[in-house]
Structure 1
Amino acid sequence: MAIMERGNRQETRGRPPQGESEESREHRHETPVKEASEERSYRAMLSDPQVRRWMWRIGTAVVIGAVGSLVFGVRLGITAAILAVIVDTVRRSRRNSTVSAWQKTSAAERRTEKQLRSLQRNGFLVLHARAVPRDEDGVSDGQIDHLVIGPSGVYAIDSEKWDKRLPVRTQSHLKLFHGPFNRKDRLDEARWEAEQASRIIGEQVGFEVPVQPSVAIYGPSIPWKVMRVRDVDVYAGNRARAYLRRRPKILTDTDVQGIFQAAEKVLPPKYPD
């Protein structure tokens, strides 16, 4: 009798509870799996830097909006929250777009170098990646991507790769904008490099050597041929060769050779072998 009772109890444990359907049993087993999958998806979403960034922005906006509403009223509080999101978005976009573009200048330099190579038959000589100025230890923070000496003069060309999604425009020949960003610092740097090269080369040859700064931009569309902005010539990168060829002759072959030899001596390579 005891053996039969133990068998009945074991049989009962092996069977599903009375009234539980097959569908209920499947749902009971699927629930932990589904919850684990949802948890992994949630963690993956939180690990996304862009999602975290927007969560931070929204949280900051909520705090600013709440405080602003208590102090200045609901309307000004909401306005302050929106402005906080816009300012943070623009700040990060500038850092990403600008830093992401400057790291690719080597490709732009190679494209300009290819154009300048064909000008040698027209009497142009070129030095690439020259340091200006150098201190007593030979260290320099500045670099002229391409120093061009030819019949039409001396030019310091900087090759830039910018985000093609942002338009380029000027304002009164005094400001250069890439999207919403003022590139005054880039123009001032190009002009400073050219001024240093002019001074150093002039001291070496014994006469004034004007050096015209310019920026060749790759990526975005440039709606003009050549535009002088803050004394710096700005043009599309693929126009570098035409920019130099269509200018009047002001230097003799002897002048070109003398200036080139002086520049090669006083402007060392930025990255020596």
Structure 2
Amino acid sequence: MPGGSIYVQQDEKYTGSSPQWWYEKFWREDAQNRRRSRYVKAGVGLVVGALLALRFGSEFVPFWGAVTAGLVAAVDWFIDWRSFRATAVWRGARHGEAITGRLLRRQLGRHGYKVLDGRAIRDQASIDHLVIGPAGIWVIDNESWSPDTEIGCYNGRLFFSEKYGTKWAKPLVDTAEAFAELLTRETGIQVTISPMLAVHCGLLPRGGVVAGEGLTLIKPRLVSRRIKAVDGVVFTEEQIELLARTAARELQKV
């Protein structure tokens, strides 16, 4: 039975009725068709490689044909592997917060940013990551939808296929405001926090970013890049240190 998912009810998962279970089932059953398709593509690559070798007068026609066939097969395998791996968080095979947290620390740490994972105001909503740095403060959560879910913004409203996105946007926006109020009160530094949602699976518009209802939805690999692209310096090193210490003290670790 495929592994459980942190984003769906586990009892449903193991009844074999969840979308994740069916996705993995069909993926495995389609393996033979994918192999056949790869053989055909490799065969075409073999012919093309041989013809190119003949065209340029090479003495190693079979060798270059085999090399081209191998490259075509390898690229086709990588594309299949990457498309399946892109659903790992949705399927429960990987944890989105671990992926995003690792990216944030690796890409922002040397630029003066502090990253705190798994924080909450006591007895209130929690977030996966709090990022504090020279250009501002962000709260970042992780979420994943089915691979065919189209995510977009129309007339200022978020949509996840035919569903409104308010149920995901409002809690995170409210949490960002609550965190900002707490940090402002405890440090005396005026704080505004921008909320982000790292989307691990689902169809975002070209560019991997969509914004609406006060929330930015973005591919995990682009989060750090977007933060670093913000112009200006909002906080000094001393303020960043004070805000990070205060957040670590006042926000409950979850």
Of 127, 134, 142, 1:151 maps to 134
Alpha-carbon distance change, 177 to 266 in structure 1, aligned in 2, over 3 angstroms: same
Cross-structure match for 1:111? 99
Which of 161, 166, 177 lines up with 2:144 in the alignment?
Answer: 161
The CA distance in 2 between the partners of 1:48 and 1:185, in whole Å, is 27
Aligned to 1:70: none
Residue of 163, 180, 185 corresponding to 1:181: 163
Which aligned runs of 4 or more in structure 1 are off by greater than 6 angstroms?
A: 47-50
Counterpart of 1:86?
none
Cα RMSD between the aligned structures? 2.4
Specify every segment of 5 or more residues in structure 2 that has no aligned partner in the other structure, as ranges: 1-14, 19-88
2:110 maps to what in 1? 121
In the alignment, which of 130, 152, 157 is matched to residue 119 of structure 2? 130
- For these two proteins, the number of residue pairs brought into alignment is 167
Q: In 2, Cα distance between the equivalents of 1:49 and 1:116?
A: 35
Give deviations 1:168-213, integer Å, cap 9, x for gaps: 111122x211122212111001101101100111111013211111
Q: Which has the higher helix share?
A: 1
Aligned CA distance change for structure 1 residues 102 and 241 (closer, same or farther; 3 Å): same
Give the aligned partner of residue 181 of structure 2: 199
Q: 1:188, 1:48 → 2: CA distance?
A: 32
Q: Distance in 1 between matches of 2:234 and 2:160?
A: 34
SS state at 1:238 partner? helix
Whether the 8 Å contact between 1:105 and 1:160 is mirrored in structure 2 is no
Q: CA, structure 1 residues 269+176, in 2 after alignment: closer, same or farther (shift >3 Å)?
A: same
SS in 2 for 1:109: helix
SS at 1:192 equivalent:
helix
- Change in CA separation of 1:143 and 1:104 when aligned onto 2, cut-off 3 Å: farther
| DSSP-derived class of the 2:148 partner | coil
- Partners in 2 of 1:231 and 1:164 — Cα distance? 24
| Partner amino acid, structure 2, of 1:126 | V
Over residues 231-262 of structure 1, what are the superposed CA-to-partner deviations in whole Å (9 max), with x where a residue is unaligned? 11221222111111111232211111111111
Of 189-198 and 214-223, the range deviating more from structure 2: 214-223
Larger radius of gyration: 1
2:252 maps to 268
Q: Which has the higher contact order (CA 8 A, sep 6+)?
A: 2
| Structure 1: runs of 5+ lacking an equivalent | 1-46, 51-100, 135-139
For residue 111 of structure 1, what is the amino acid of its counterpart? I
Cα 1:187–1:106, aligned 2, differ >3 Å: closer, same or farther? farther
